[in-house]
């Protein structure tokens, strides 16, 4: 962590929240640059931050701007990422050194958002859906770095499950092997991003933010490093028909295979094709589930900060930032 202050910039709003031991919710930025078109991406990002504030927490949108690791973005920085879109580098763990060293702009994935959130002392992160094992990953080894980060980084991720374009069975197996709890929020079935159902039963489901807080506190107090996935289903009124979205995904996967689209280009391509096939209803669902996850994350962090559950580390980190770095 030596000389981290030369790289890490925490916004005044987030720094104040850390010092005052107030609730903070981390947000990724790949959803801004790669998740949806402009201006919906900008409007959605601003609205997510508003939802978090309305529920009593502080938003910490994370990105790399001109080579600086930014925890908490200005509206202007969010708009920059939104307008640049796919021209912004999509940054996972492996990409951070290159983007920082070359003073580039980078949009953070789930994995890199977790890394930067933990560096800043933020423990809760809301997003749309996590990455996972891609279909045929048993032969291609195409597995998202999100899963490895969840196995090692102490940040809880509230999401609508794994993206339904993935191999959900293999994704769950990977998380189980690496000791990552997957907790269904008021559901016994893994939600599959656009839909509330997937056909995969979860071992644990929780009914309240307090129960969630107690589990996190127990995990990290026992020294069991790594994250936790809280699978929060998309609201019923926005949930897409399981059969419709399944057909759309299968068609998009066939086209991706024909065009040899793989790696970090795969997810934006597939989501774009699914939006096209579904006439835009998948984008509406995507936005709705992000709002829903931000609300739940805010409610949890507000309750947790009142109980000082896992938040003291963040406050201490901010107050001792200059001395420790």
Number of residues that make up the chain: 325
Please confirm, yes or no, whether 103 is among the known catalytic residues: no
Please give the full DSSP string across 66-115, using - where no structure is assigned.
Answer: TTEEEES--HHHHHHHHHHGGGSEEE-GGGHHHHHHTT--EEE-HHHHHH
Residue pair 65/91 in contact (Cβ under 8 Å)? The answer is no
The residue annotated as part of the active site, out of 90, 163, 273, 295, is 163
Give the span between the Cα atoms of 190 and 234, in whole angstroms: 11
Q: Residue 42 half-sphere exposure, CB side, CA atoms within 13 Å?
A: 14
Please confirm, yes or no, whether 306 is among the known catalytic residues: no
Instruction: Give CA angle at 237 (235, 241), nearest 5°.
Output: 95
**E-state strands within the chain:** 8-10, 24-27, 58-65, 68-71, 89-91, 106-108, 124-126, 156-159, 182-185, 204-206, 228-231
Measured between its terminal Cα atoms, the distance across the chain in Å is: 6
**Is 57 strand, coil or helix?**
coil
Q: Residue 82 half-sphere exposure, CB side, CA atoms within 13 Å?
A: 18
Give the span between the Cα atoms of 202 and 189, in whole angstroms: 5
Q: What token pair was written down for 264?
A: 């970090």
Q: Which positions are catalytic?
A: 28, 163
């Amino acid at each position: 962590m030596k000389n981290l202050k030369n790289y890490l910039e925490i916004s005044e709003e987030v720094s104040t929240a850390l010092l005052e031991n107030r609730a903070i919710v981390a947000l990724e930025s790949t959803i801004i640059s790669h998740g949806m078109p402009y201006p919906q991406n900008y409007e959605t990002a601003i609205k997510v931050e508003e939802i978090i504030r309305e529920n009593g927490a502080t938003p910490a949108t994370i990105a790399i701007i001109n080579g600086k690791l930014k925890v908490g973005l200005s509206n202007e920085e969010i708009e920059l990422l939104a307008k640049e879109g796919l021209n912004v580098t999509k940054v996972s763990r492996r990409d951070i050194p290159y983007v920082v060293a070359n003073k580039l702009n980078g949009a953070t994935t789930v994995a890199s958002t977790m890394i930067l959130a933990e560096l800043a002392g933020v423990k809760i992160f809301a997003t749309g859906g996590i990455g996972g094992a891609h279909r045929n990953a048993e032969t291609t080894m195409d597995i998202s770095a999100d899963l490895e980060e969840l196995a090692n980084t102490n940040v809880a991720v509230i999401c609508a499950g794994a993206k339904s374009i993935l191999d959900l069975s293999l994704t769950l197996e990977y998380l189980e092997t690496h000791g990552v709890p997957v907790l269904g929020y008021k559901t016994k079935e893994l939600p599959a991003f656009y839909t509330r159902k997937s056909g995969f039963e979860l071992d644990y489901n929780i009914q309240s933010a307090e129960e969630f807080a107690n589990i996190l506190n127990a995990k990290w107090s026992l020294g069991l490093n790594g994250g936790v996935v809280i699978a929060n289903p998309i609201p019923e009124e926005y949930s897409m028909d399981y059969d419709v979205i399944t057909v759309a995904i299968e068609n998009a996967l066939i086209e991706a295979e024909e065009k040899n689209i793989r790696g970090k280009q795969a997810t934006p391509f597939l989501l774009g094709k699914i939006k096209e096939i579904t006439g835009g209803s998948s984008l509406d669902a995507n936005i709705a589930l992000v709002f829903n996850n931000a609300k739940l994350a805010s409610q949890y962090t507000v309750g947790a900060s009142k109980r000082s559950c896992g938040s003291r580390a963040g406050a201490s980190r901010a107050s001792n930032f200059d001395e420790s770095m």
